[in-house]
Amino acid sequence: EAQVTQNPRYLITVTGKKLTVTCSQNMNHEYMSWYRQDPGLGLRQIYYSMNVEVTDKGDVPEGYKVSRKEKRNFPLILESPSPNQTSLYFCASSSAGTYTDTQYFGPGTRLTVL
Amino acid sequence: QKEVEQNSGPLSVPEGAIASLNCTYSDRGSQSFFWYRQYSGKSPELIMFIYSNGDKEDGRFTAQLNKASQYVSLLIRDSQPSDSATYLCAVGGQTGGFKTIFGAGTRLFVKA
């Protein structure tokens, strides 16, 4: 089954404790992206990747890191989480690496930083 | 100024009616336009995409694009209670970039 998976689905942590949210897709997609979703603000893009070893900042990259060492994986790293990073996070992927393609979303990770 | 604007709603329509959802965007260079549906607690799923001016129909859904007015809309005919969700407008292909910008979404309630 074609899908985007994220782990963990739920995470409660404390300020400053480094964490990684994994994202993996099995569709051989070139383009992958991370979003956060907050009430009233919609989905905001954090980082995106056009292909292996190619990443770029979205609209809200501060406090986040990403890497793209393999085509299928695109982990999101919070080196020192803060309470304002409490949010619902989605990973997405699309084929051909262009803006015209439909993005397929993972199930989401609900993160709470205390 | 937000780059993609939607009425937050909620928009309430009776079952069987036409629901009209609207979206405006600020970047004239935008080239691709998407409507996603998101049920509460779930991830967004694509309903339609449109690239050219005019209408595009898919079943009960019609997307309309007017690039001159920087306006895109989604019409849902014969609305069903199962259509109750938040509808996200997304705009891609901004000038000089590969970002996708989402609106905050419009909540739709279809009353049985």
B34–chain A Cβ distance below 8 A for any pair? yes
Per-residue pLDDT, averaged over B43-64, amounts to 93
**Per-residue pLDDT averaged across B23-32, rounded?**
89
Give the model's pLDDT for residue B2: 57
Residues of A with CB under 8 A from a CB of B: 31, 33, 35, 40-45, 48, 50, 56, 58-59, 90, 97-100, 102-103, 105-108
SS (H, E, C) B45-91: EEEEEECCCEEEEECCEEEEEECCCCEEEEEECCCCHHHCEEEEEEE
**pLDDT, average across residues B26-51:** 91
Q: How many CB atoms lie within 10 A of CB B80?
A: 12
Rounded Cα–Cα distance for residues B37 and B45 (Å): 5
Name the percent of chain A lying above pLDDT 90.
76
What is the b/e burial string over A11-36, where b = at least 16 CB atoms within 10 angstroms of the residue's CB?
Answer: bebeeeeebebebbbeeebbbbbbbb
CB contacts < 8 A, A to B, total 60
Q: Cβ contact (<8 Å) for A44 and B104?
A: no
How far away is chain B from the Cα of A34, in angstroms, using its nearest Cα?
A: 11
Which helix (DSSP H) or strand (DSSP E) does residue B23 occupy? strand B19-25
Q: How high is the mean pLDDT of chain A?
A: 92
The DSSP H or E segment spanning A21 is strand A19-25
Do B105 and A105 make contact, defined as CB atoms within 8 angstroms? no
CA distance A41 to A97: 25
Cis bond before residue B10 (omega within 30° of 0): yes
User: What integer is the mean pLDDT of A6-21?
Assistant: 97
pLDDT at B97: 57
* Cβ <8 Å between A108 and B105: no
Task: Read off the tokens for B55.
Answer: 């209408």
Top pLDDT among A16 and B31 is at A16
Q: Does residue A98 carry a pLDDT above 80?
A: no
**Which tens digits make up the pLDDT trace of A39-73?**
888 899 999 998 899 899 988 999 999 999 999 99
Tokens 């989605």, located at residue: A90
pLDDT recorded at residue A100: 58
**β-sheet bridge partners, residue B92:** B32, B100
pLDDT at B28 over 90: no
* Mean pLDDT for all residues in chain B: 91
What would the mean pLDDT of B84-95 be, rounded to a whole number?
85
Q: What is the mean pLDDT of residues B11-35?
A: 93
Task: Report residue B32 CA to chain centroid gap.
Answer: 12
Task: Judge: B98–A56 Cβ closer than 8 Å, yes or no.
Answer: yes
Q: Do A102 and B93 touch (CB under 8 A)?
A: no
Q: What pLDDT sits at residue B32?
A: 87
Q: What is the pLDDT of residue A96?
A: 61
**Confidence tier at A95 by pLDDT (50, 70, 90):** confident
Distance from the B44 Cα atom to the nearest Cα atom in chain A, whole angstroms: 6
For residue A33, list chain B residues with Cβ-Cβ distance below 8 A: 100
Tokens 């419009």 correspond to what residue? Answer: B106
Chain B interface mutation, best of A51, A89, A103, A110, highest count of B Cβ atoms under 10 Å: A103
Mean of pLDDT values over B61-81: 96
